[in-house]
Structure formats: C-alpha cells, structure tokens
Structure 1
C-alpha cells in the first residue's frame, strides 16, 4: 500500500485520500455528502460506478505531490491496475455545514 508524499491539510480531503489509499469503501462514502457528484476529464460521471471501477476494483492509489493554499486542490501521482501511474489534478468542494466533500473533479494534470 502506498502512502502519500504529502499529507493533505484539509480534513475532508485528507479523509478522502486516506480512504482511497486504504481501499475502505465505508470511509470513502463517509467522506462524501450523500448527494456528492464528480467529473473526470471534464465529463460528469456516475460517482458510484466510476469509483468502483477506477478506485476500488483496480487498487487505486493517490500519492499527493502538491496542494493549493486552501487544501482543496491537489496534484497527485494516481495509479491503478488499469491505467498504471499518471499525474492527475483533483479539485474538491466541501459542504461547510457537514465538513464532507460534495463534489470532486479529477483529470490528467497538465
């Protein structure tokens, strides 16, 4: 199991990354609001289908390389059994009333 190079500073983002790297579906869902949404490379995706395929069934790992000042954007070396390793960008929206992620957007880092 891989560990992040950088530990995300925002608690909700840290919970997300920790859950992904632990392959813990329950902790992952707990990091998100019930109505959370996501996009991949600018296209809206079904969150449950995408995360099962791209994270859990394919051993996804997030090695955080850098983060924005507010901790809501990450540059990650993302790897899984399907695609190998690639630099990716992740942006998170946190519902401040719950402290959980209501949306994330990911895609290849430029």
Structure 2
C-alpha cells in the first residue's frame, strides 16, 4: 500500500516528492535550499550531479510506503531506468520550509 502525495505531512517533503515524481527540475530546485546537501548510502554526493543522474535523466520515481511521525523520514520503493526498483529510506532536514539536506540509501 502506498501513501498518496497529499498525505505526506511535511510540506517541504511533499514538494520534494511531488517534483521528483513529476520530473519537474524547476519545482525540485525550488523545494531545496540554495546550499542543500545530500548523501547516498552514507557518502556525500553533489546534489546537482546526483539528481540529474539518479532522478531526471533516468525517470526516477518513488512510491511512499511509510513516513515517520514527524514527516521527515520516508521508506519508499524507488525506481529508475538505471537501477530498476529498490526499497529505500529517505531522511530530510528542513530549513525555512525547504529541504536543506536529504539522505537516502537502501532500506
């Protein structure tokens, strides 16, 4: 069972997931702070490079399975054209209504 986008409780996380799933680079960029950082499987990555490769040029999409009580943690089935589908965890730091850091990895 997946959680609908409008049921995600944190507005910044909802904007992030919505932009990711619609492939909207502009909305995705608007959901992040100017100095946003990220990590993948514990290693810090360049946000622009990673998101282009893992989301936008490879048709990335997440189906949310669970969210934490604070709305800043997700477990999702993530798929893209490069890696197929995998169960992933996501943790977000929000600052001023935008995502300032996200951490993802296999769940």
- TM-score between both structures, scaled by the size of structure 2: 0.95
Q: Number of paired residues?
A: 104
Cα distance in 1 for residues equivalent to 2:29 and 2:86: 24
Structure 1: runs of 5 or more not aligned: none
Large movers: runs of 4+ above 2 Å? none
Alignment deviations for residues 56-105 of structure 1 (CA, whole Å, 9 cap, x no partner): 0000001000000000000000000000000000000000xx20000000
Q: How far apart, CA to CA, are the structure 2 residues paired with 1:5 and 1:36?
A: 27
Q: Which runs of 5+ in 2 are unaligned?
A: none
Aligned partners of 2:18, 2:70: CA distance in 1, in Å?
18
Deviation of 1:5 (Å): 2.1
Normalising by structure 1, we get a TM-score of 0.92
CA RMSD across the alignment: 1.0
